[in-house]
Chains A and B, each alone.
Chain A
Amino acid sequence: MTAVENVRQTSEGAQEMRPRSELGAKELMREVGSVLRMSEAEAAQLGQMPTDDEDQTMIINMGPQHPSTHGVLRLMLELQGETVLRCKPVIGYLHTGMEKTGEDLTFLQGGTNVTRMDYLSPFNNELVFSMATEKLLGIDGDVPERAVWMRMLLSEMNRMSSHLLFLATNGMDLGAVSMMLYGWREREEVLRFFQKVTGLRMNHNFIRPGGLAADLPPGWRDDVLSILEMLPPRLEEYDILMTDQPIWRERLQGVGVITAEEALALGTSGPILRSTGVPFDLRRDMPYLHYDELEFDVIVGSYGDAFDRYAIRLNEIRESIKIVHQILDRMPSGDYRIQNKKVTPPPRARIDESMEALIHHFKIFTEGFKVPEGEVYVGIESPRGEIGCYIVSDGGPKPYRIHMRAPSFVNIQALPHMMRGGLVADAVAVISSVDPVLGDVDR
C-alpha cells in the first residue's frame, strides 16, 4: 500500500458495538476479546446465545450526555435484563488535538497547554512537562531546593483537591448528595489557596521549566496549616457518613472487581492498580523530586473493588496531609527558579534599567529558548496514576513531538472488565470509582 492510499483509507468502520445477531462467534470474540481476553470457548458460548427476533439482549448507549459519565464519555452496553454482558467505551468527544497544538507552542508556552489536559490535577501535568523539559536541557539537577519543595507542596495539595472532588462525585453518583456538597466545599478551600499562590483556581501554568513562576505569597504557611487543621476532622466525618454506613458498603463492596493480573496487563496505574493489592506508587518506587526523603505509606487494597478504590483515595488524602506537614517543616529559603540566563527571564526591576535585560526578556517570551536534540520520557504519580510526558526535541524552541501518557485514557480501558456481569445500576458506581477526567482521556 502506498503512503497516499494509506492516508486516504481512513474509514475503518464505525466504533459502535454491533448487535449480536449480526455477529458470528469469531467476530464476537474479536470484539469482546479485544478488551476481555476471553478464551475461544468462552466466546463461542457467548455467541450461542439465542438471537431470534425476540432478541434477549439489548444494546443501549449510556452517555455521552449523562450526569454520571464525568464529562462526555459514551458507553455502549449490551444488557440482558439488568445484567451487563458487554461494554465498550467510546471516547473522543472532548478531543481537541492538544498534542498537535503542543508542537506549535514553545517550551515556555507549553505549560498553558498541558495544564488543561487533566484539569483536576493541573500541577501534576505542569510538573511532568517541566521535568521532561529540564531533563532535555540537562538542568534537572540544578533546580533550586526551594523550587523542588514548592513543587512537592503544590502537587500534594493538588492530590488532596483532586481526591476531595472524587469523594464528592462518587457520593453524588451513588445518591449521597450531602457528600457531594461536603467534597466540593473542602476542595474549594484548597483551590482558594491555589488562587492565592498562582492567581487562578485551575490551569495555573505555575510550574515552569526551571522552577516556578513566582514565590509563595506572604502568609502561605498559615493558609496551608488552616487547611491541614480543617481536613482531618472532616475526613472523620466522611468515615461516619460513608465508610461505616451499610448502604454505602452494599453499593460498593464487590462491585467492579478487577484482579492484579488484569490490572497489570491492561496497564492501569494509580488507585486502580493499588486496589488490587499491587503496592506500586511512583513516589516511592521511582522517586522524583525529594519524595525519597519523606515518610508516607502507600495505601493498597485487597479486593480490587469499587470500595477499595474509594478507601484508597480517602486515605491518600490523609497521607498527603502527613507529607505536607513534613514539607512545611523542611521548606528551605532561597530561589524559586533556576538562575540560568537561558531559561529564566530577567527580574521585572532589571527590565527598567537595562536595555540588555529588556531584549533578553523579549527574546525569551517571543522566541523561547532552544532545547538540545533528543528525546526523554518522564513519569510521575498523579492522583489518577502514572502521568508521563514524552518529548522529542529537534533542537528548536518548540517540541518536535509532545506526548502525554494520560492515566485516565489507560484506566478507562479497564471499564469493560470491571462491568462485565454486573448490574446496570452498578455501572455508575464503576465509572465513578475509576475517576476518569475526560480532558485527560481525549486530550
Chain B
Amino acid sequence: MTDMSATPDDESLFGAPVLYSRGQKVVHPSREQYVAVLKQAIDAGYTMCSDLTAVDYLTHPGRELPSGIAAERFEVVLNLVSITERTRLRVRVQVPEADATIASCFDLWPGTEAMEREVFDMFGVRFDGHPDLTRILMPEDWEGHPLRKDYAIGRIPVQFKGANS
C-alpha cells in the first residue's frame, strides 16, 4: 500500500503527479498509467467510484496541470471515495481529440458502466473494454455528442426517430 500519509508537498501519488484544487486532492495520471493508478488506488482503500464524467476543454485550453502533463481536448474525471479513511480522491486523465479512447474501468468497478456510457453519449469518448458501449440518454440514432463545446445549443433541428422515413 502506498503511504497515504505522505506530506502534502509530495508531488506524486501512485506514480502520478498530484495537484491540489481548492484543497481537494487531484491525481493526474497519463492514459498509459490510468488503469495501474486506479488499481493502486483501490488497494489504498478507494474502493468506491462515486462519479465518472468528462470535460471538453475545446474553448478553455489553458488550465493548471502538473508539469509533464500536456493539456488535451478531453479530460475524463473520476471521483473516488475511501469509505474507511473517509476521504475523496479525484483522478483527471487527458484524452486527445484525435484518438478519443481510454481504457474502461468496468473491470474495477462495474458501477462505472452506466457512467462511461453517459460520457460516450455526451462526449464521444470511447472506452476500450466496455461491455456495452451504446448511447444511454440520447436516442440511439442521434447524431453528435451534445456536451461537446462545438455542439451548439439548438444548432441541430430536433430529430425524431423515423421522422424522415
CB distance from A89 to the nearest CB of B (A): 9
Q: How many A-B residue pairs have CB under 8 A?
A: 146
A-B contact pairs, 13 of them (CB 8 A): A2-B98, A6-B126, A7-B144, A10-B135, A12-B140, A99-B147, A100-B147, A286-B86, A373-B64, A375-B77, A379-B79, A386-B50, A413-B113
Q: A10-B143, A100-B147, A377-B90 are in contact. Are A390 and B111 (CB under 8 A)?
A: no
Q: Which residues of chain A have C-beta atoms less than 8 A from B146's C-beta?
A: 97, 100
Q: Tell yes or no: A1 within 8 A of B by CB.
A: yes
Q: Complex Cα distance A30/B99, Å?
A: 25
Judge whether B131 and A30 touch: CB under 8 Å: yes
Q: Tell yes or no: B136 within 8 A of A by CB.
A: yes
Q: Which residues of chain B have C-beta atoms less than 8 A from A135's C-beta?
A: 22
Q: Tell yes or no: A240 within 8 A of B by CB.
A: no
Q: Complex Cα distance A6/B22, Å?
A: 34
Judge whether B97 and A375 touch: CB under 8 Å: no
Contact residues of A: prevailing secondary structure: mixed
The closest CB in chain B to the CB of A403 belongs to B53
Q: Complex Cα distance A269/B120, Å?
A: 23
Q: Complex Cα distance A375/B98, Å?
A: 25
Judge whether B111 and A92 touch: CB under 8 Å: no
Q: Tell yes or no: B139 within 8 A of A by CB.
A: yes
Judge whether B83 and A280 touch: CB under 8 Å: yes
Q: Tell yes or no: B1 within 8 A of A by CB.
A: no
Q: Complex Cα distance A265/B41, Å?
A: 14
Selected interface stretch from A31-39, A61-69, A247-255: A31-39
CB distance from A374 to the nearest CB of B (A): 6
Contacting A at CB under 8 A, from B85-126, are: 86, 88, 90, 97-100, 106, 109-115, 118, 120, 122, 124, 126
Q: Interface residues of B toward A: which range?
A: 35 or more
The closest CB in chain B to the CB of A373 belongs to B63
Chain A positions near chain B (C-beta within 8 angstroms): 1-3, 6-8, 10-15, 30-31, 33-35, 37, 91-92, 95, 97, 99-101, 104, 135-136, 138, 264-269, 278, 280, 285-286, 373-377, 379, 386, 388, 390, 392, 394, 400-401, 403, 405, 409-410, 413, 442-443
CB distance from A86 to the nearest CB of B (A): 13
Judge whether B56 and A12 touch: CB under 8 Å: no
Judge whether B136 and A92 touch: CB under 8 Å: yes
Q: Which of A3, A34, A266, A409 is B100 in contact with, Cβ under 8 Å?
A: A3
CB distance from A224 to the nearest CB of B (A): 31
Judge whether B111 and A7 touch: CB under 8 Å: no
Q: A12-B134, A33-B131 are in contact. Are A405 and B140 (CB under 8 A)?
A: no
Q: Complex Cα distance A2/B99, Å?
A: 7
